[in-house]
Amino acid sequence: MVTSTATWTSDPGEHYWLKNVKSSFRIPVYLPSLCVRRGRSIAEVTSVSSDLAGLIVLLSSIASRGSIEFVNGSIARAPDGKVVVSLFVDYTDSGLSAEGLANSLGGIGVVEGLSVNGYLTGGVTINKHLFPLLLGGNRAVAFSVEVLGGMIDHLRERLGEAANTLLYDLGRQYGVLFTRQVREETGLTFDELAQISLAELQAAGWCVVEGYSGDPVKRFWRIIVKDLFECAKRRSGSNNSHFFRGVVSGLLGEAYGSQDVSCIETLCAGNSTNSCEFAAWV
């Protein structure tokens, strides 16, 4: 049960920077793409089945034997209605080769299709089956926060203050296009469209929306977010969130049919606060 006091207390890894999230129950979700286990025999196994319950029973049976360890993975439903399970497995103690692993799993009736990626180099394998990555039914591309932050820093080093203007303009265009897409998918408009668009950005890992308030008549809004990717691990002493500030401007402008939405960041986590706060108006 989700409560306002639930807290994620485990540390999923030293590189995970969101510590002690207090406001609600939020759990980091791994997107399985890379598995590294030096000195071990590992593979990425993707199977297709029309019988989800039967597939889960099969996987449970394999796990209970102890000779094959499931490292991580995902379960999804394909557009044709079939279930796609992609798992990274450690089969070192099974005595099987990658080919033997495929033959062993593929010969079970509940599995309609199966493919196995062996390791690319010793103890390292990549998920090469699940492509493209979809987010809400649309193709998506994943960047790590560290890499994206490094790209933004490089842009500022090359362009100086002009980089912030460029980031704002790019963000604004993103906000327009993204919100237009959400409107076409949902049929929503105005305040509902704005809030749903922000919620979908949260689901995509951009930030946690802590507060949203607005006066549609006066055309004034205030938005509070935590853990915004632009400010991750970055304490510059100044406001960092120029891209997201542009996104807010474009998002609200598209939701309310206006090209003249202005947005400023009144507080920024890059400047020693706990959240980023934005004020927008027409």
Tell me, yes or no, whether 165 and 247 share the same domain: yes
- Please, are residues 223 and 212 in contact by the beta-carbon 8 Å criterion? yes
59 and 162 housed in the same domain: no
Q: 245 with 263: CB under 8 angstroms?
A: yes
Domain assignment of residue 4, yes or no: no
Virtual torsion, Cα 57, 62, 68, 71, nearest 10 deg: 10
Q: Which of 90, 105, 132 is the last residue of a domain?
A: 132
117 and 167 belong to one structural domain: no
Give the pLDDT score at 199.
95
**Is residue 101, in this structure, part of any structural domain at all?**
yes
State residue 16's pLDDT score: 40
Continuous segment of H or E residues that includes residue 262? strand 262-267
Sign of CA dihedral 235, 236, 238, 240: negative
Return per-residue pLDDT of the chain as tens, 282 residues: 333 333 333 333 444 444 444 456 777 877 888 899 999 999 999 989 998 888 888 888 887 887 889 998 888 888 888 999 999 999 999 888 888 888 877 766 788 888 888 877 888 999 888 888 888 888 999 999 999 989 999 999 999 999 999 999 999 999 999 999 999 999 999 999 999 999 999 999 999 999 999 998 889 999 999 999 998 766 666 788 999 999 999 999 999 999 889 999 999 998 878 899 999 998
Residue 5 lies in a domain: no
Number of DSSP helices (H) and strands (E) in the chain, helices first: 6, 12
Among 144, 163, 276, smallest CA distance to 223 is for 276
Residues 194 and 274 in one domain: yes
CATH of the domain at 187: 3.30.1380.20
Judge if 257 and 162 occupy the same domain: yes
Choose one of 81, 108, 132: the last residue of a domain. Answer: 132
Q: What pLDDT does residue 12 have? A: 39
| Residues of the domain holding 207 | 145-281
* Predicted pLDDT at 57: 86
State which of 85, 107, 132 marks the end of a domain.
Answer: 132
- Helix ranges restricted to H, the chain: 52-65, 98-106, 145-159, 162-186, 190-203, 242-256
Residue 29 inside a domain? The answer is: no
132: preceding bond cis by omega (within 30 degrees): yes
pLDDT at 10: 36
Query: Within a domain: residue 137?
Result: no
Domain membership flag for residue 269: yes
145, 229 contact by CB (below 8 A): yes
The pTM of this model reads: 0.80
- Indicate whether 155 and 231 sit together in one domain: yes
Do 72 and 191 reside in the same domain of the chain? no
Assess whether 124 and 167 both reside in one domain.
no
Same domain, 125 and 227: no
Residue at 97 is within a domain = yes
Q: Label residue 42 left, alpha or beta by phi (over 0 means left) and psi (-120 to 50 means alpha).
A: beta
Any idea what the CATH number is for the domain that residue 126 is in?
Answer: 3.30.70.260
Q: Are residues 276 and 153 in the same domain?
A: yes
- Total domain count, the chain: 2
Q: Residue 189 domain-assigned?
A: yes
Q: Does one domain contain both 126 and 158?
A: no
Q: What is the pLDDT of residue 233?
A: 66
Amino acid residing at 54: G
Kindly state whether residues 182 and 117 are assigned to the same domain: no
Rounded Cα distance between 40 and 19, Å, is: 31
